[in-house]
Structure 1
């Protein structure tokens, strides 16, 4: 039985990329399953963080740290520049015009660190994911410092938690996941972890399935009741992700095209689940709907952008399936 489970996890790890795209549609098609899994979203987020730390390629990060200027610039832009630019846009439009629920959604969608699956998406596109990996890990580390400060600017008293409370919640999630991964790493050893890479990938895919399905709670009802509004909100989440990517491409154009795209894609795919978990999993209905449909660009853009990546980075890019 154990061998069968291990073989199943390994198979999912090798072929699970398409399942991630399918999972968000499963969540929409099976609303009862989404509602059942929603209370476990925070557990899924914590487990995904633990696996992310467990899988971190320390040697790849060290190689990037030997030339830290680009990484530091990308980190400052991702965790401060992009959310502060969003704040200026909110001020220009008017917070009252947007409403507190949309402002909270914009905060979650821009102050969150990149998803830890971002390097995997970069590799999927046939590019080097080491810069994305280093940026994702660095962003996770600074999130308890940057996210509360940005939240105070964007939301002020409307921030669901105090600045200190949010910093504490984020720190607890990250430190807890890191310590648990450290224990697993010491117990298993590097060689066993290397041999089990496909099994870990399979478990990661299963957890992403749980997360994606849980995040879709309420989406089917919204599509049924307000299809035009829900489609429009979904389009806005795609637009926000693409704007962050385009601005990043323009800002880091002096770097190599491959590095510029790695930064852009990483910046445009945010770990909103971490912010939702830190906020206790309770959000206003409209903010939750933004968070839910905001998973579509995260899971779908790697596939949709393959032709652009091939054109922008060269014919060898985008060839990995």
Structure 2
């Protein structure tokens, strides 16, 4: 079992693409996995918190660009910019709100694991993700209230997010306090579990999506195109935000582009309308497909560097 999980890590980008496509091709499997979505979110967040390196956190906190600027950009500036752009483009209010909610989510809890799969620095996304998760119960409800249209109060959304994140933080604290040496010795296994949870989550997000696509192909394609456009735009912005080497800039791009939409989705529950759920599901395609393309880009960069 342990060796199987470890083997998932280098194949992670390809497996995540496979998970999305599997859920789309096999609706029954996606429906079966759908009830597991909150549990997979919990496991992914917990795994991320267990991978925290105290020294890396301290080093990052000493760099205002990582401890202050980047979380503020991720959790406040990006949602406001995307929301303003959606309103300027005259998007349907329901879809515009879905985009804001998706971008207001903290970085995907699997971003650090994905970064390590790609040979990038996993410490930076890990620290930024943890800091952003602390902000999420405050910033997400405020942004949702600012743009309006949700069938849930800001306070209830804040409490749901705090419960999801706080419970994972509590379990992580206990495990790190009583099993720190074991966690340090089996960090790769934790990454493998995160990848496995991401795979199940990817399948689960496709529940009901095939039916929605059949009913309204045009809207489904538009949501997918919009999801790719937002993710790519944020990744490009991340590449331009901070100076550094290509791997460093790609890491910041991943942080801005890949969001833990499932966290917000799970917190919303029934308050997420079918169209919002369709967009949330569409965001999974760039989250899981683009790392595979980034892997190719990194490979070519390394070949040029050797030449």
TM-score, shorter chain, exceeding 0.5: yes
Matched, 1:183 2:179: no
For residue 128 of structure 1, the aligned residue among 121, 134, 138 is 121
1:94-133 map, 5 Å = 94=90, 98-133=91-126
Q: TM-score, normalised by structure 2?
A: 0.90
Equivalent-residue separation in structure 1 for 2:304 and 2:76 (angstroms) = 30
Q: Give the corresponding residue for 2:225.
A: 235
- Structure 2 residue aligned with 1:215: 205
TM-score (norm 1): 0.86
Distance 1:257 1:7 in 2: 32
1:14/1:259 CA distance change after superposition, 3 Å: closer
Structure 1: gaps (5+ residues): none
Tell me the equivalent position of 1:261: 250
1:304 CA displacement:
1.1
Select 2:79's aligned residue among 80, 83, 95. 83
Equivalenced residue count is 306
Note the C-alpha offset of 1:14.
Answer: 5.5
- After superposing the two structures, state which structure 1 stretch, 216-225 or 80-89, moved more: 216-225
Q: Within 5 Å, give how 1:1-321 maps onto structure 2.
A: 5-13=1-9, 15-94=11-90, 98-155=91-148, 158-188=149-179, 190-252=180-242, 254-280=243-269, 282-309=271-298, 315=302
Alignment root-mean-square deviation, CA:
2.4
1:12-66 Cα deviation digits (max 9, x unpaired):
3464443222111110111011112212211221222112111222222222222
In structure 2, do the counterparts of structure 1 residues 180 and 88 end up closer, same or farther at CA, with 3 Å as the change threshold? same
Per-residue deviation, 1:8: 3.3
Check conservation: 1:75, 1:138, Cα contact below 8 A.
yes
1:195 offset after TM fit, Å? 2.6
**Unaligned 5+ runs, structure 2:** none
